[in-house]
Amino acid sequence: AQSVTQPDIHITVSEGASLELRCNYSYGATPYLFWYVQSPGQGLQLLLKYFSGDTLVQGIKGFEAEFKRSQSSFNLRKPSVHWSDAAEYFCASYGGSQGNLIFGKGTKLSVKP
């Protein structure tokens, strides 16, 4: 079965430091990949998506992600984290048996002042 794995449950970084959140997917063909962010008590907001083409995609709020087929990864990065980036981040892949999004279990990001 198709799956999305986010190995890190919780990450803490200092404000101004760089960030990388890991995501691995299992899918034979080229997947459609997404990163969503969820602030406390809020719904999910799309940060960026990858369907095809350039493997480095830019998103909102200064985030980017790189698709690496050889590693089955789609890691999210930001060069300098702001306190407002503290949230939970979900990686997702399109193509479940019902044609739906398959979500990872999420990575909670805490930001130290």
Distance CA 59, CA 45 (A): 11
Options 19-27, 60-68, 74-82, 102-110: segment touching another protein (CB under 8 A): 102-110
Phi, psi of 99 (to 5 degrees): 70, 25
User: Min. distance of Cβ 9 from another protein in angstroms?
Assistant: 8
- Work out which of 11, 32, 72, 75 binds another protein, going by CB under 8 A: 32
- Provide CB contacts within 8 A for 78, sequence distance 6+: 18, 19, 61, 62, 63, 64, 85
Pairing of strands 73-78, 44-50: unpaired
- Using the rule CB under 8 A, is 52 a contact of another protein? no
Measured from the Cβ of residue 112, the count of other Cβ atoms closer than 10 Å reads 12
- Using the rule CB under 8 A, is 105 a contact of another protein? yes
- Work out which of 11, 13, 19, 101 binds another protein, going by CB under 8 A: 101
Q: What is the CA radius of gyration of the chain?
A: 13
- Work out which of 21, 24, 25, 34 binds another protein, going by CB under 8 A: 34
- Using the rule CB under 8 A, is 60 a contact of another protein? no
- Using the rule CB under 8 A, is 74 a contact of another protein? no
Which parts of this chain interact with another protein (CB under 8 A)? Answer: 9, 32, 34, 36, 41-46, 49, 51, 90, 94, 96, 98-101, 103-106
